[in-house]
Structure 1
Amino acid sequence: MKLTEVLEITGATCVVGEQLADIEVHHAFASDLMSDVLAMSRPDTLLITGLTTPQIIRTAQMLDLPAILVVRGKDVPQYVADLARTTGIVVLTTHDIMYVASGKLYARGLSG
């Protein structure tokens, strides 16, 4: 699934991601515990989280995750957005709660 589809499906906005249209994800993983993400995730996965700390960027960077979808309408601090930009990680935000965002994406074919 292209990240442009993720935007459309979840009503998200792009915080960081000039390369948005070129990126495709094949899986999604939803968690606010970065230790779970480290244990369970794999490359080409969209991270869905409610966290807005630098740890989400560092975790995505360590696992080669191309993008993060921040849920619950949270604002991403500028320093986190700047870190994402320097690491090449796309950051999107949606007002959906994690359960709803995950369900919408799963219903449209994005596997867990």
Structure 2
Amino acid sequence: MTIQDVKSILNADVIYGDGLMEQEIHTACGSDMMSDVLAFVKDQSVLLTGLVNPQVVRTADMMDIRCIIFVRGKCPDEDIIELAKEREIALMSTSLRMFTACGLLWENGLRGEG
């Protein structure tokens, strides 16, 4: 599945990363606790979160997460967007709640484990 596929499934808006949409995604993780992301996420993943702070991008960078999706319509500020640009991590926002967004991705074949 590509980031573009995830965007379509979640009816998400791209905040940054129009040029990254063809990157492959193999797994997904939904969490607001970055310690859980560090403990359980595998490479080439998408992260769904309601947390909007720079630590989300830093954690994503450490774990080779290719895309961060902010749920519940949340949008990052310019500092977070700049950090994502520096690290080439796509950012999107969806109005869906995390449970619904994760369920839709699961239903379309994206799993939590590679």
Which TM-score bucket, shorter chain as reference? over 0.9
User: Cα deviation per residue 1:46-75 (whole Å; 9 max; x = unaligned)?
Assistant: 111001100010000111111111100012
Taking structure 1 as the reference length, the TM-score comes to 0.96
Report the alpha carbon displacement of residue 24 of structure 1 after superposing the two structures with TM: 1.1
Q: Give 3-state SS (helix, strand or coil) of 2:46's partner.
A: strand
Gaps of 5+ in 2: none
Q: Deviation of residue 39 (structure 1)?
A: 0.3
Aligned to 2:35: 35
Root-mean-square deviation (CA), in Å?
A: 0.8
Aligned residues: 112
Task: Measure, in 2, the Cα distance between the counterparts of 1:22 and 1:56.
Answer: 22
Hey, what's the Cα distance between the residues in 2 that align with 1:12 and 1:18? 12
Aligned letter for 1:79? Answer: D
* Superposed structure 1 runs of 4+ greater than 6 Å apart: none
Equivalent residue for 2:84? Answer: 84
Aligned counterparts of 2:2 and 2:36: Cα–Cα separation in 1:
24
- Residue in structure 2 matched with residue 65 of structure 1 by the alignment: 65
Mapped partners of 1:48, 1:21: distance in 2:
16
TM-score (norm 2): 0.95
Counterpart CA distance in 1 for 2:89 and 2:25 is 12
> Secondary structure in 2 aligned to 1:74?
coil
Mean CA deviation greater in 13-22 or 67-76: 13-22
SS of equivalent to 1:28: strand
